[in-house]
């Protein structure tokens, strides 16, 4: 696993020079195309709002629990590590990691579920597609165009970071018919950079949700010993419990979980590249299976953590009280704003031809705090 020093990017990397953007722009000598993409994400309004959006615990629950912005930063850190090891396009990988949750509603997945129900008859709601709406239309920072005008490679990675898209009807309905026609091939596999961003998301929320769950006393360390690989890690650190605080021991355990998963990805991806004879970027795009992935044993470990978190954390009665309240707030806001849109939003700022989608955009962009305060006013 020793990394060699290589000056140029791997043949499997997305090149530093982009294929372009929807709106042509002058180049700059200071930054690459993908550094500009990353910086546009960081400076966007949608990214700043993630500071006050739920990861698991509602933003008002405590100062040290993860929010969407800390989660996104942690995903980016893991993704950069993997990208650097494989000598890929690190700036693209970081951009995809930072941008992947821009479309999330207030109150996390509970808010998304409620907003999707509100929009069921009108195309539905999906936070991944909402990320693209923000990037393409809703951010307003430039004279020349709406949105952020990101590179086609970044758009491709955000579209397909979970794999090729077999049915693009939902995308056409929410983004506009054939918006990416002749620009992005939905049926091809995503870049390695996109695959890394996706699996880094899994590592980050698995490990850090465990840490937040332990700190909030939703479960104990001994409860986690039911997960095989985790039991080995926990028992190693439990021996030190007399000498160190439980908080420090938890942090060391989380650190070991991340290291184990990253190490497994590196070894498994190296084997996949060799066994599947992946030698060029074209081979990556035409691969019928993910290249960046966990080994069989680590997939079981990942599945075990997710199952544990669902049972002990996401469905815990204390968490459910807040998530159910979040759903109630979103549904009430949608109904109230729908009755008199102009009272709440500047219709001209959104999509005047589709007022319900504009209301959806407005609610999806709210922070937890803003949604709660507006709900109290109209209640």
Domain ranges of the chain: 33-378
The pLDDT score that the predictor gives to residue 352 is: 62
Between 178 and 228, the more confident residue is: 228
**Cβ atoms 16, 89 nearer than 8 A:** yes
**pLDDT tens track for 18-75:** 999 999 999 888 999 999 999 999 999 999 999 999 877 655 555 667 899 999 999 9
Nearest Cα residue to 90 out of 37, 50, 135: 37
Mean pLDDT of 214-220: 91
| Residues in Cβ contact with 94 at an 8 Å cutoff, skipping those fewer than 6 apart | 38, 76, 79, 80, 83
Mean pLDDT of 235-239: 86
**Is 90 exceeded by the pLDDT of residue 112?**
yes
What six digits make up the tokens of 231?
Answer: 């039991």
Nearest Cα residue to 314 out of 242, 218, 233: 218
Q: What is the band of 12 on the pLDDT scale with cuts at 50, 70, 90?
A: very high
CA 213, distance to chain mean position in Å, is 20
Q: Which of 46-60, 151-165, 248-262 has the lowest mean pLDDT?
A: 46-60
User: Per residue in 7-33, is it b (16+ CB within 10 Å) or e — as a string?
Assistant: eebeebbbeeebeebeeeeeeeeeebb
The pLDDT score that the predictor gives to residue 351 is: 63
The pLDDT score that the predictor gives to residue 2 is: 46
Task: Round to whole Å and give the CA distance between 289 and 171.
Answer: 23
Which value, in Å, is the radius of gyration of the alpha carbons in the chain?
21
The pLDDT score that the predictor gives to residue 177 is: 63
Task: Round to whole Å and give the CA distance between 303 and 161.
Answer: 19
What six digits make up the tokens of 262?
Answer: 């990253």
Note the CATH number of domain 33-378: 1.10.3210.10
**Is 70 exceeded by the pLDDT of residue 121?**
yes
Q: Which of 28-42, 159-173, 203-217, 332-346 has the lowest mean pLDDT?
A: 159-173
**pLDDT tens track for 222-234:** 999 988 888 899 9
**Cβ atoms 361, 147 nearer than 8 A:** no
Average pLDDT for the chain: 91
């Amino acid at each position: 696993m020793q990394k060699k020093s290589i000056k140029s990017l791997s043949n499997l990397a997305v090149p530093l020079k982009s294929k372009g953007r929807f709106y042509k722009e002058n180049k700059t000598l200071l930054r690459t195309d993908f550094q500009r993409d990353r910086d546009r994400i960081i400076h966007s309004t949608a990214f700043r709002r993630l500071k006050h959006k739920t990861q698991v615990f509602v933003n008002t629950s405590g100062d040290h629990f993860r929010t969407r912005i800390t989660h996104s930063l942690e995903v980016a850190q893991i993704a950069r590590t993997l990208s650097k090891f494989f000598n890929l396009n690190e700036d693209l990988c970081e951009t995809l990691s930072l941008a992947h949750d821009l479309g999330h509603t207030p109150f996390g997945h509970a808010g998304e579920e409620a907003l999707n129900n509100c929009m069921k008859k009108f195309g539905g709601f999906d936070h991944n597609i909402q990320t693209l709406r923000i990037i393409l239309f809703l951010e307003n920072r430039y004279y020349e165009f709406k949105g952020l005008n990101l590179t086609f490679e970044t758009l491709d990675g955000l579209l397909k970071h979970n794999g090729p898209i077999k049915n693009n009807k939902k995308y056409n309905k929410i983004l506009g018919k054939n918006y990416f026609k002749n620009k992005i091939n939905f049926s091809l596999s995503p870049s390695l950079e996109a695959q890394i961003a996706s699996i880094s998301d899994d590592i980050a929320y698995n490990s850090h949700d465990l840490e937040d769950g332990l700190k909030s006393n939703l479960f104990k360390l001994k409860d986690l010993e039911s997960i095989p690989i985790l039991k080995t890690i926990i028992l190693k650190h439990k021996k030190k419990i007399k000498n160190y605080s439980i908080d420090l021991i938890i942090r060391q355990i989380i650190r070991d979980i991340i290291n184990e998963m990253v190490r497994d990805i590196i070894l498994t991806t190296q084997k996949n590249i060799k066994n599947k004879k992946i030698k060029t970027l074209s081979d990556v795009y035409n691969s019928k299976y993910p290249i960046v992935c966990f080994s069989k044993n680590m997939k079981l470990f990942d599945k075990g953590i997710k199952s544990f978190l669902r049972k002990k954390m996401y469905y815990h009665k204390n968490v459910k009280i807040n998530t159910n309240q979040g759903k109630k707030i979103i549904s009430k806001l949608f109904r109230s704003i729908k009755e008199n849109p102009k009272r709440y939003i500047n219709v001209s700022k959104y999509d005047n031809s589709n007022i319900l989608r504009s209301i959806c955009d407005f609610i999806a962009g709210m922070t937890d705090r803003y949604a709660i305060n507006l709900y109290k006013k109209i209640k």
